[in-house]
Amino acid sequence: MKIDENYMRRALELAKGGWGRTNPNPLVGAVIVRDGEIIAEGCHEKLGGAHAEVAAFRNAKGEVGGGTLYVNLEPCSHYGRTPPCAEAIIKAGIRKVVIAMEDPNPKVCGRGISRLRNAGIETVVGVLEKEARRLNEIFIKYVTEKKPFVIMKTAMTLDGKIASFAGDSRWISGESSREQVHIIRDRVSAIMVGINTVLTDNPSLTTRLGYKSGNDPVRIIVDSKGKIPVDSRVINSGSAAGVILATTSAIGGEKEKILTDRGVRIFKLDGAQGHVDLSRLMEELHREEMDSVLLEGGGGLNAAALNSEIVDKVMVFIAPKIIGGRDAKTPVEGEGIQFMKDALELRDISISRFDEDILIEGYVKGVSCLQGS
């Protein structure tokens, strides 16, 4: 029904209030309607805080008994960081529950819905499911595959360059595009670059939002030989988010001690041909409860990430500029493919505008977060 979709859109909008604060929990919003009017709204604002349904009950401007609850994710039925929401819904006397999608978490999937139905509550599932799955694409990957969701972001010119032949890349994209990147940094658990980016640009990799205080993601540097200078900004930024150096056994013992003394965490992940094993790195990050990684690497790391099949989503900002030059760097290097039939394809493409720049977003073919169960 159209009216159900309208209330669910509001629940989805409310859920965004937890962006960057609930990781690795999902984004959830809730709306309670009675006699055709919204009497309560809530969202899951932060990890360990009240779930959206409970927050809505607390914010209610009237009796919720007999009302209809709209929520974008199946109410939980187990004790985790907070008590189960399904029980709270039953206790509150809600007459009907409209849910966008089942919870993909094996601890929950279907159990919350069954609990509601067994209690005699009319329960509808699947309203705006695709929109709900897109909103929680990070959570879906994290709980179903036990790996973080990886977004490969790059900015390039019209002729496909990320820097001039001399290595200059400031700035390819415009200010509006760069602001959007910091919004994304505020939402993810970690940001990852390669050692060449550190050596060339010496970035701090922090989040800078002009309108509010942002969360810094954990900074991950992929550096197989431990070449990172100890005076790098990323190590000495003063951010509480921390730094992880993903390296190999090739790192020198003295350098490892110096970095460790400066608070850098060392992950030794020996891979083929002396490179860091990126697949194992993703497994380690999952164990650290990091649900998402923004990859802002150069062409070498981007190629390695794609070859390792760790990338879920690609974001390409295209600036209306032309650099030229056969030696100018491109977003994806490596050996490349020989035949077009082997090219990596993206699906579910969306296009948006940031002043003069164009952002193209798509999902690596085979990623299933937008598909229903």
Which residues carry a binding-site annotation for Zn(2+)?
A: 51, 76, 85
Which residues carry a binding-site annotation?
A: 51, 76, 85, 155, 169, 171, 185, 197, 201, 205, 208, 224, 296, 298-304
Residue 253 has pLDDT above 70, yes or no: yes
Residue % of the chain over a pLDDT of 70: 96
Residue 194 has pLDDT above 80, yes or no: yes
Q: What is the mean pLDDT of residues 292-299?
A: 95
pLDDT tens readout for residues 12-45 = 999 999 999 999 999 999 999 999 999 999 999 9
Residue 64 has pLDDT above 70, yes or no: yes
Residue % of the chain over a pLDDT of 90: 82
Question: What pLDDT is stored for residue 373 in this prediction?
Answer: 43
pLDDT tens readout for residues 125-174 = 999 999 999 999 999 999 999 999 999 999 999 999 999 998 888 889 99
pTM for this predicted structure? 0.92
Tell me if 120 sits within 8 A of 86, measured CB to CB.
no
Question: What pLDDT is stored for residue 339 in this prediction?
Answer: 92
Question: What pLDDT is stored for residue 170 in this prediction?
Answer: 83
Average pLDDT, rounded, for the chain: 92
Distance separating the N- and C-terminal Cα atoms of the chain: 22
Residue 372 has pLDDT above 80, yes or no: no
pLDDT tens readout for residues 136-146 = 999 999 999 99
**Which residues on neighbouring strands pair with residue 276, listed in sequence order?**
270
Which residues carry a binding-site annotation for substrate?
A: 185, 205, 208, 296
Q: What is the mean pLDDT of residues 322-349?
A: 91
Tell me if 337 sits within 8 A of 307, measured CB to CB.
no
Query: In a 10 Å sphere around its CB, with 0-12 CB exposed, 13-18 middle and 19+ buried, how is residue 127 labelled?
Result: buried
Residue 81 has pLDDT above 70, yes or no: no
Domains and CATH numbers, the chain: 1-139 (3.40.140.10), 146-363 (3.40.430.10)
Q: Peptide bond preceding 84: is omega within 30 degrees of 0, i.e. cis?
A: no
Q: What is the mean pLDDT of residues 261-285?
A: 96
Grade residue 368 by pLDDT with cuts at 50, 70 and 90: low
Question: What pLDDT is stored for residue 39 in this prediction?
Answer: 95
For the annotated catalytic residues, the residue numbers are 53
Q: What is the mean pLDDT of residues 314-322?
A: 97
> What is the distance between the alpha carbons of residues 88 and 97, in angstroms, rounded to a whole number?
12
